[in-house]
Structure 1
């Protein structure tokens, strides 16, 4: 899994949109003290449950792989000419 130029910004955007999606689905917003690791896992699992992201193999479910899945998910939601995709 090679890091790309805008992965950090894409992950941040995925987290923002994922959290908004979770709220629309009826979940409460994350408290300010919640770790990023926990947020990534919660958003990833919600997207898998709603079949918006294909689940990782059980032995591959870790933080970096979940983050990568969120980056792939948000990359597919953006228009082709979006600056973060260059």
Structure 2
């Protein structure tokens, strides 16, 4: 797994966009007290369910790989000239 440039910033952006996506899909489980790791797992599983990202093999399904998948997902959604992709 090759680390992306600005991966932490991409992950933050993915969480923000992913939360909005989940709420638009009807997910009501996010609260102000949710930890980031809970949000990451919920967003990842929702994107897999909606077939927007390929699922990780069960043996590789951990928080680090989920974070990487979300960063890859948002990197593909952003325009090529976005500041996080430079």
Band the TM-score falls in, shorter-chain normalisation:
over 0.9
Aligned residues between the structures: 86
TM-score, normalised via structure 1 length: 0.94
Structure 1 alignment gaps of length 5 or more = none
TM-score, normalised via structure 2 length: 0.94
Give 1:28 deviation, angstroms. Answer: 1.3
What corresponds to 2:43 in structure 1? 43
Give 1:29 deviation, angstroms. Answer: 5.2
What corresponds to 2:32 in structure 1? 32
Which whole-Å CA distance do the structure 2 matches of 1:75 and 1:38 have between them?
21
After superposition, the C-alpha distances for 1:18-76 in whole angstroms (9 at most, x for unaligned) are 00000000111511111111110000000000000000000000000000000000000
Structure 2 alignment gaps of length 5 or more = none
